[in-house]
Amino acid sequence: MARLIVVSNRVPLPDEHGSPPPGGMAIALNAALKKKDGLWMGWSGEVKGEEEPPALITREAGGITYALTDLAQKDLDEYYNGFANRVLWPIFHCRVDLAEYARQEMSGYYRVNRLFADLLMPLLQEDDVIWVHDYHLIPLAEELRRRGCRNRIGFFLHIPWPPADILFTVPIYDTLLRGLSSYDLVGFHTGYDLSNFAECLRREGCGDLVEGGFCRAYGRLFRCGVFPISIDTAEFESLADQAARDEALQENYRRIAGYDVVIGVDRLDYSKGIDQRIVAFRRFLQANDHRIGKTLLLQITPKSRSEVPEYLAMQKDVAELAGRVNGDLGTIDWVPVHYINQSLGRPELAGLYRMARVGLVTPLRDGMNLVAKEYVAAQNPHDPGVLVLSRFAGAARELEGAVLVNPYDPESMAHAIERALVMPQDARIERWRAMMARLREHDVYRWCDDFLSCLHQAQNTAR
Ligand code: F6P
């Protein structure tokens, strides 16, 4: 049996009983790895001394081998905090204004990819199938091929692929494109991402899509496809059912239970449009006097990537904005914006999603956005809330029952919130059913199976 090797920057480690950490993707990948005697390789999350030689620490848990490496501070600064999160992340989210190009960081990014290839090569067996995840590791297949690896290698991009003119602002965009052509399958969330990728190849004069789901570029033929990631729909639905019956949890929510709750849940990231959302919520309150004192925005926003300057600046800006709205509009017994910088457990989140009448998911750009899907899965089928969703999230291409909004336009967002709050029950049920049917059919297990079966098919055709 061919083993499955997953490689990603972060590795979600199992708990002491060998159970995967919560989260749809970790659970689905763990299930696939378990079936295939699998191995998951990545960064340990720890920093090592510059002079310590690189090494892999392996451990077995729940039928899976984990192979982890510490990274030196310089590697982390240049690869993760640097090129990955100060160039690729902003550019792929169309924020050219936030990208900081430093030659040294670009070479740090390639150095860490070479390190991953060096560490992985000795572990590989002839039939292993390798699945590489996300923008941190675009060059990994090319590095493995240079070391003689002939295994099938797939790549899935968890963030959007930008339009050509935006990608071309990255000084080494051509090496990124060439790097992707070393894979046997390259997967994106949406058809829009795939067509942007193809447009980049065409404009560069180095390749194009060809019939049958293939791409020919840099002299290689490889598969390309669309694999919209999803959630463990059944699990999330049942978490929300349990939360609705959990008296202790309901008691926790008591203080906000009497209000119309509009919920936002995002990592603190400029791509999520959190400040635009708070501004829109203020407009909504100002335009709808009767909502004053009755509606609140519960914005749950764990801090993220705090070593990257743009993220640090944003922490201050969003906190100040939330404070200003509360100062301007709040009263002694009503706080309009509940802004919380903590991450909550999944059962608690599921319960809050169910309680909220509106799920406000308004990223400026997002590969998929699983909060949108979780919000839908958590709803009460007989009295569901309404999803207000940015048209620039990948999820908007699937969740047709959402009220779509332009996150750059606060007035239209304010209007959408009011429209969601007054939407009649039968209309809400109809919209929710359509979205839930999609999520039941296309859950995260289906995403994983679809990608892996496409990668298996790539075996004989891509060489
Ligand atoms: O959406 C891309 C992604 O890398 C996810 O895979 C991850 O959960 C999230 O961003 C957070 O990223 P980081 O690992 O930088 O905290």
Catalytic residues: 158, 366
Task: Work out the pLDDT band at 459, boundaries 50, 70, 90.
Answer: low
pLDDT at 234 over 50: yes
Q: Same domain for 387 and 338?
A: yes
Length of the chain: 463
Q: Same domain for 117 and 190?
A: yes
Torsion of CA 43, 269, 236, 434, to 10 degrees: -130
Determine the pLDDT at residue 462. 41
Phi, psi of 13 (to 5 degrees): -80, 145
Window from 90-99, 109-118, 152-161, 253-262 with minimum mean pLDDT = 253-262
pLDDT at 333 over 70: yes
Cβ count near 320 (within 10 Å)? 11
C-alpha count within 13 angstroms, C-beta hemisphere, residue 33: 28
Average of per-residue pLDDT across 358-384: 97
214 Cα: distance to centroid of ligand 1 (angstroms):
28
Q: Among the atoms of ligand 1, which is closest to the Cα of residue 85? A: 15
Q: Whose CA is nearest to atom 6 of ligand 1?
A: 158
Closest CA relative to residue 23, chosen from 399, 249, 349, 364: 349
Determine the pLDDT at residue 24. 64
Q: Same domain for 259 and 129?
A: no
Q: Among the atoms of ligand 1, which is closest to the Cα of residue 10? A: 14
pLDDT at 44 over 70: yes
Q: Whose CA is nearest to atom 8 of ligand 1?
A: 10
Q: Among the atoms of ligand 1, which is closest to the Cα of residue 84? A: 15
Determine the pLDDT at residue 162. 98
Let me know the angle formed at the C-alpha of 230 by 164 and 256, rounded to the nearest 5 degrees.
110
Determine the pLDDT at residue 4. 95
Q: Same domain for 225 and 287?
A: no
Q: Same domain for 24 and 42?
A: yes
Determine the pLDDT at residue 235. 92
In whole angstroms, give the CA distance from residue 313 to residue 317. Answer: 6
89 Cα: distance to centroid of ligand 1 (angstroms):
10
Q: Same domain for 458 and 428?
A: no
List the domain range (segments joined by +) for residue 323: 233-441
Determine the pLDDT at residue 63. 87
Q: Whose CA is nearest to atom 13 of ligand 1?
A: 305
pLDDT tens, residue by residue, 276-316: 999 999 999 999 999 999 999 999 999 999 999 989 999 99
189 Cα: distance to centroid of ligand 1 (angstroms):
15
pLDDT at 270 over 70: yes
Higher pLDDT, 343 or 23: 343
Q: Same domain for 266 and 328?
A: yes
Please provide the average confidence, as pLDDT, over all residues in the chain.
Answer: 94
**Within 6 Å (CB) of ligand 1, which residues are found?**
10, 134, 158-159, 304-305
Ligand 1: residue of 10, 29, 161 to mutate (most ligand atoms within 8 A of CB) is 10
Q: How many domains does the chain fold into?
A: 2
Ligand 1: residue of 156, 304, 306, 447 to mutate (most ligand atoms within 8 A of CB) is 304
For residue 326, give the CATH number of its domain: 3.40.50.2000
Q: Same domain for 436 and 295?
A: yes
Q: Among the atoms of ligand 1, which is closest to the Cα of residue 136? A: 4
Q: Whose CA is nearest to atom 3 of ligand 1?
A: 158
In whole angstroms, give the CA distance from residue 113 to residue 116. Answer: 5
102 Cα: distance to centroid of ligand 1 (angstroms):
22
Q: With pLDDT > 70 as the criterion, what percentage of the chain qualifies?
A: 98
Task: Work out the pLDDT band at 463, boundaries 50, 70, 90.
Answer: very low
Q: Among the atoms of ligand 1, which is closest to the Cα of residue 9? A: 14
3-state secondary structure 109-141: HHHHHHHHHHHHHHHCCCCCEEEEECHHHCCHH
Q: Same domain for 173 and 266?
A: no
Q: Same domain for 225 and 311?
A: no
CB proximity list for 43: less than 8 A, separation 6 or greater: 9, 10, 11, 68, 69, 70, 71, 80
Q: Same domain for 226 and 273?
A: no
ipTM reported for the complex, 2 dp: 0.95
Task: Work out the pLDDT band at 461, boundaries 50, 70, 90.
Answer: very low
Closest CA relative to residue 354, chosen from 274, 298, 395, 312: 298
Q: Same domain for 70 and 135?
A: yes
452 Cα: distance to centroid of ligand 1 (angstroms):
21
Average of per-residue pLDDT across 431-453: 96
